[in-house]
Amino acid sequence: MTAPLRVLVTGAAGQIGYSIVIRIADGTVFGKEQPVELVLLDIPQCSNILEGVVFELQDCALPTLYSVQAVTDEKSAFTGVDYAFLVGAMPRREGMERKDLLAANVKIFKSQGKALAEYAKPTTKVIVVGNPANTNAFIAAKYAAGKVPSKNFSAMTRLDHNRALAQLALKTGTTIGDVKNVIIWGNHSSTQFPDVTHATVNKNGTESAAYAAVADDAFLQGPFIATVQKRGGVIIEKRKLSSAMSAAKAACDHIHDWHFGTKAGQFVSMAVPSDGSYGIPQGLVFSFPVTIDAATRDWKIVQGLNFDDFAKGKIAATQKELEEERDDALKACDDANI
Ligand code: NAD
Ligand code: LMR
């Protein structure tokens, strides 16, 4: 039998947790031949809910679910994990920006970064979903340094990427499979830059640049960008809860592609510690277009893309916000005596 992968989901008693665990357990993420040892972490007050989720997973009778365990302490959670979905954190409510969560959530990621360093494998791959996701990933990577390399940390902008694909498909009367290579640059926040300059749309068998297929530059530089940037807030306004089904699906897409590699000729958006590409300061967790090699499971930032002044301005704004968040988070971590 193939050795099981040990996969941790934090915040597993929450909304996203409930949507994500089935996809990990049923083979959607790691394949139908890959057994999974699922570890579910939440705070002790949620232990009954967690137990209910474990019972439901057992009742799903899934051939790929080798085992499932509910835990409420970091040592049991992080020991020996291959992949960690760090979801557990407070969500924003109506009227808040994601960075308003920084003070409440950053200490969780400081503590979990230390736990990764102490208990996880050096090869563990981490996706941070909990907001503000980029900055939480930056903090987790900082406190895991020396044990888990920073290239193993990422934050989720795949939901924004999927939102951009969907908006482009809707606008051009095509389906998701016809649209590729949108890019989310920067922060998972309302300053992100959803960029379709390098995207293509296949309509009735003919592939063309997204700008040509849409033939409405004002739309692509205005309402399209605003819709993707503000989608999370609109969902909260409508549901009175933050997105969960689409967030869980995006996290699974992100880890699926990290595990299996990206498709030839296609890239995906992932927030990763910058290697200095495109002048983004080293270490800042910034969303870039990446490709992933299936054999090494290393991501590479797509190089050589050109920016016009419009794009340069958008990228500068999201970079500035991330630098400010990073500095606030570092200060909060110094203040947080954990
Ligand atoms: P939720 O409130 O339903 O669930 C969060 C869970 O995390 C709760 O069960 C809570 O008890 C748990 N938790 C809190 N502290 C914890 C800790 N230290 N260790 C383990 N678990 C802990 O929230 P949700 O809707 O599932 O959202 C979770 C997070 O994901 C929020 O921060 C939300 O803003 C974020 N989010 C990010 C994206 C993205 O695209 N990056 C998308 C959607 C939501
Ligand atoms: C989203 O993009 O839906 C999430 O980050 C939740 C939020 O606060 O917007």
Binding site membership of 232 for ligand 2 (Cβ less than 6 Å): yes
**What percentage of the chain carries pLDDT values higher than 70?**
99
Q: Does the annotation flag 129 for ligand binding?
A: yes
Q: What does the angle CA 158 – CA 315 – CA 280 come to, to the nearest 5 degrees?
A: 90
Is pTM, for the whole model, over 0.90? yes
Query: Among 86-90, 143-147, 181-185, 331-335, where is mean pLDDT lowest?
Result: 331-335
Atom of ligand 2 nearest to the CA of 159: 2
Binding site membership of 246 for ligand 1 (Cβ less than 6 Å): no
**pLDDT at position 181 over 80:** yes
**pLDDT at position 338 over 80:** no
Residues marked as catalytic:
188
The closest residue, in CA terms, to atom 7 on ligand 2 is 232
Binding site membership of 131 for ligand 2 (Cβ less than 6 Å): yes
- Cα separation, 120 vs 77, in Å, equals 9
Q: Answer left, alpha or beta for residue 9, where phi above 0 means left and psi between -120 and 50 means alpha.
A: beta
Mean of pLDDT values over 84-107? 90
- Provide the pLDDT confidence category of residue 1 given band limits of 50, 70 and 90: confident
- Cα separation, 297 vs 270, in Å, equals 14
User: ipTM above 0.95?
Assistant: yes
Tell me what the pLDDT averaged over the chain comes to.
Answer: 96
**pLDDT at position 302 over 80:** yes
Q: Residue 293 has what pLDDT?
A: 96
What amino acid occupies position 318?
T
Length of the chain: 338
What is the chain's Cα-based Rg? 19
**pLDDT at position 278 over 70:** yes
Q: Residue 27 has what pLDDT?
A: 98
Mean of pLDDT values over 187-209? 97
Q: Residue 179 has what pLDDT?
A: 98
Q: Does the annotation flag 103 for ligand binding?
A: no
The residue behind tokens 């605003």 is 226
Residue 102 Cα to ligand 1 midpoint, Å, equals: 13
Atom of ligand 1 nearest to the CA of 17: 26
